Amino acid sequence: MLIEITGIIIVLMALRALIARDRSERMLYLNALSFGMSALIALYIQSPFGAIIAITSFVTSTISSNAIAYSMGRTPEEILIK
Amino acid sequence: MAIDFINISTVSAAVSLIGAAGIILLPKPIDKVIMFGMLQGGFIGMIVAGKYLDVAMVAALFDPISTVILLIAIVKINDVRKEKSKAQEELDIA
Amino acid sequence: MNEIIGIIIAAVLSWANFVLIDTWMGLPEKPGVKGADVIGRGVKKRGGDLSGGFFQGNIVCSPDASAGTILGAISCYTIGIPAGGFIAALLVFIGNRLCADPGYAGTSGALSIMVIIALASFIGIPPEQFIVGMLLAIVTIQGIDHPRASRLLGKIAKRMGRYTELT
pLDDT digits (tens, 9 = 90+) for C67-112: 999 999 999 999 988 888 999 999 888 888 877 777 788 899 999 9
CB contact under 8 A, B37 and A64: yes
Of C106, C135, C130, the closest CA to residue C119 belongs to C130
DSSP 8-state symbol, B5: G
Residue C143, pLDDT score = 87
> Are B20 and B39 spatial neighbours (Cβ–Cβ below 8 Å)?
yes
Tally of structural domains, chain A: 1
Quick: pLDDT tens for B58-79.
Answer: 999 999 999 999 999 999 999 9
* Averaged confidence pLDDT in chain B: 92
Of A37, A29, A36, A34, the closest CA to residue A13 belongs to A29
Mutation for testing the A interface, residue in C5, C61, C107, C134 having most A CBs under 10 Å: C61
> Are C62 and A27 spatial neighbours (Cβ–Cβ below 8 Å)?
no
Confidence of residue A81 (pLDDT cuts 50, 70, 90): low
Q: Where are the domains of chain C?
A: 3-159
Range of the domain at B58: 2-93
User: Measured between alpha carbons, how far is B33 from A68 in angstroms, rounded to an integer?
Assistant: 8
Mutation for testing the B interface, residue in A1, A15, A25, A26 having most B CBs under 10 Å: A26
Q: What is the count of residue pairs from A and C with beta carbons less than 8 Å apart? A: 139
User: What is the DSSP code string of A21-77?
Assistant: SSHHHHHHHHHHHHHHHHHHHHHHS-SHHHHHHHHHHHHHHHHHHHHHHHHHHH-SS
- Decide if A20 is inside a domain: yes
- Decide if A17 is inside a domain: yes
Quick: pLDDT tens for C16-31.
Answer: 999 999 888 888 888 8
Which residue among B64, B74, B85 places its CB closest to the CB of A64? B64
Quick: pLDDT tens for A10-57.
Answer: 999 999 999 998 888 999 999 999 999 999 999 999 899 999 999 999
Tally of structural domains, chain B: 1
- Decide if A82 is inside a domain: no
As for the ipTM of the complex, it is 0.90
CB contact under 8 A, A10 and B81: no
This prediction has a pTM of 0.92
User: Measured between alpha carbons, how far is C68 from A32 in angstroms, rounded to an integer?
Assistant: 15
Residue C80, pLDDT score = 87
* Helix ranges (DSSP H) in C28-64: 34-45, 50-61
**Phi then psi dihedrals of residue C76, to 5 deg:** -65, -30
Return the number of other C-beta atoms located less than 10 Å from residue C65's C-beta.
31
User: Measured between alpha carbons, how far is B31 from B25 in angstroms, rounded to an integer?
Assistant: 10
- Decide if A51 is inside a domain: yes
Quick: pLDDT tens for C121-160.
Answer: 998 899 989 999 999 999 999 888 888 999 999 999 988 8
> Which residues of chain C are within 8 Å of residue A9 when distances are taken between CB atoms?
135-136, 139, 143
DSSP 8-state symbol, A20: -
Sign of CA dihedral A37, A47, C14, C36: negative
Which residue among A10, A15, A23 places its CB closest to the CB of B31? A23
Range of the domain at A68: 2-74
